[in-house]
Structures are given as C-alpha cells and as structure tokens.
Amino acid sequence: MKAVICTKYGAPEVLVIKNVEKPQPKDNEILIAVKATTVNSGDVRIRGLIVEGFLRIIMRLVLGITKPRKPILGTIVAGIVEKVGKNVTSFSPGDEVCGSTGFSFGAYAEYAVIHEQSTIIHKPTTANFEESAAILFGGMTAHYFLHKAGISTKKNQKILIYGATGSVGIAAVEIAKYYDAHITAMCSEKGVDLVTQRGADAIVLYTQKDIQDLQGQYDCIFDAVGKITKKQCKHLLKQKGVFYSVGGLEVAKETKEQLLFLKKLYDMSYIRANIDKIFTFDDIVQAHHYVDTGRKKGNVVVKVSNEEVNIISKNVAEVKI
C-alpha cells in the first residue's frame, strides 16, 4: 500500500510517499481502507518537533530520538472496513467508519488498523468521508476542555473562546452553542464570517483589541490556540469562572463517547465539517506547509484514493465493491 513516511523531524519535505506492507488486523482489530484523513496542528507539531525547551527532549524520548518510531503519521481516519479480526463484534466488512488512531498513528496510508473498542465509530450517514474526517480532531479536543470546564452543567453560560477559527476553536463555538452558551469569539477579520455562521453572539478582533483591555464577566474562558495566559484575562472571570487552554501540558483525552457526541451534533446540524482545503494524498507536503502557517480556518482534509476495497468477511468469500 501507499503510505506517507516521516523520514526525520523537520520541514514538510521530510514526508515521503512509499510503498509499504499493508497492515493486518489482530483478533480485536479492524482493517480500514482509508478514504480521508486530516492534517492537523498535532501532526505538524510532531513532524517538525515543534515544541519548546525541555519538551523537545521529552517528545524525542516518547516519539523517537531522530525520527518518529512510528513512521506513518496521521491520526484521523474515515473509510471502509475491509476486514475484521476474529473477535470483532461491533464492526463488519463494508461498514463506513471514522475515528482516531491516537498515539498509534498510521492514518496517512491507504490502510490502517484500529482496535474495535478504541476511538472508532460508524460515520454519520449524512457526511461523506471528507466531512466525517473533518469533524473529529478539533471536536474531540474542544469537547474534552469544555466538558472539564463544566459546559454541560449549567445553561446560558457566558463563554469567551479565544482563537475561535482553528479546528479546536470553531468546534468549541459549535459545542458551546449546543449548550445554549452566550459566546464571545475572539478571532481576526478573516474569521468573522465563519464564527458568525457557527453561532457566535459577539465577536472581538484580537488584531484590534488586546484581551487585557477587554471588559465583561465570563463563566469560562477557553483559549483554543494556546496564545494567552490566565493572568492576562483573570479580570474577565466571574468569581467561580474557569480558564482552560490547549497550550498547557494537559493532553486532551480521546474517547469513543466524544465521537458519538460529535456524530449526534453533526446529525442535529450543530456542528459542520468546516473544511478549509482538501488536498490529494500526493500533495501531503503542501497540506503540511499550509497547516504550518497556523492560519487555517477549521480543517484541512486529505483525500486518500486507494484502489477498490476488497471486503473480506469473516465467514464469506471475498466480495469486491
């Protein structure tokens, strides 16, 4: 199969497409013919080892000293189940699925394997593969931090979302809207249309106003781009108000429940795929350059055009679709 190999840490050109052996599912795993993946901020951070100070050493120890130990990067998959391990009960060959391989990576490939109990679900029926892939990364992160902040516990909260136009930020706007929050979105002029469409009640341009100069009282301030500190906005928090940021050391946990929640909200039209650009698999280097700019709006998707899928049932002979 074709896969994108990360040959070392560095600029997007370290990514090279090669032919590698197709993975095979273990007893509890499913083999997915990947139709779409995404390039997100996490992917480019790992590829470029873009972290500061001592964290670079930790990242090398965790991921690989000179290059990623798992050379096929990418975490988000949307595709068709081609084959299932003998103990798999919740998926069958032919099922259309989406999910995250998490720290197992391996999504930048024509085929990926994932444990059936892991972060994988049947994709929304009304979403195509590109859309199904797009709703996951930012959605899971926003879900994690907003639920920690207690978004589901109280109606009509006042929330300020800083950096509301990235994949995490725009998903946070959508999820907060679902919980009837009053949303103030901070973004640049280029993001105004997007945050307005997705439900922001008020907009502050960070290009014109510093957060330190804002006035108001919020139940929650969520920094979705990791660019501000609690100290800068403490005066904006109500007495029991909370501040969360994607920029700290806390890594958002990914769960199947989050995926089911996002699917539900997609079906209810609360969340949208918010696709900025779609690249072909062969243009993965360009996709990484684009995400490296830190200016994408929502999500960047990569179409993986694998050959026709061989649906291999556990008991039935091979069927081609």
CB 247, min distance to ligand NAP, A: 6
Give the distance from CA 23 to its chain's centroid: 23
- Residue 148 half-sphere exposure toward CB, CA atoms < 13 A: 18
- Which of 104, 118, 128, 188 is in the footprint of ligand NAP by CB under 6 A? 188
CB 254, min distance to ligand NAP, A: 9
Q: Does 167 bind ligand NAP (CB under 6 A)?
A: yes
Q: Does 40 bind ligand NAP (CB under 6 A)?
A: yes
Q: Does 165 bind ligand NAP (CB under 6 A)?
A: yes
Which one, 249 or 316, has the nearer CB to ligand NAP?
249
Query: What's the one-letter identity of residue 176?
Result: A
CA 84 to CA 141: how far, in whole Å? 28
Residue 259, token pair as written in the block: 């995926």
**CB distance 251 to 141 below 8 Å:** no
Beta bridge partners of 182: 158
Residue 208, token pair as written in the block: 């014109």
- Which of 30, 114, 168, 271 is in the footprint of ligand NAP by CB under 6 A? 168
How would you classify the pairing of strands 29-39 and 319-320? unpaired
Which one, 109 or 225, has the nearer CB to ligand NAP?
225
**CB distance 168 to 228 below 8 Å:** no
CA 161 to CA 146: how far, in whole Å? 10
CA 81 to CA 312: how far, in whole Å? 9
Report the site for ligand NAP in 239-258 (rule: CB under 6 A): 246, 250-252
Please give the full DSSP string across 29-49, using - where no structure is assigned: EEEEEEEEEEE-HHHHHHHHT
Binding segment (CB under 6 A) for ligand NAP, from list 66-74, 75-83, 123-131, 291-299: 291-299
Count of residues touching ligand NAP (by CB under 6 A): 30
- Which of 37, 100, 101, 141 is in the footprint of ligand NAP by CB under 6 A? 141
Report the site for ligand NAP in 54-73 (rule: CB under 6 A): none
CB 160, min distance to ligand NAP, A: 12
Would you tell me which residues interact with ligand NAP (CB under 6 A)? 40-42, 45, 138, 141, 163, 165-169, 187-188, 190-191, 206, 224-227, 246, 250-252, 291, 294-297
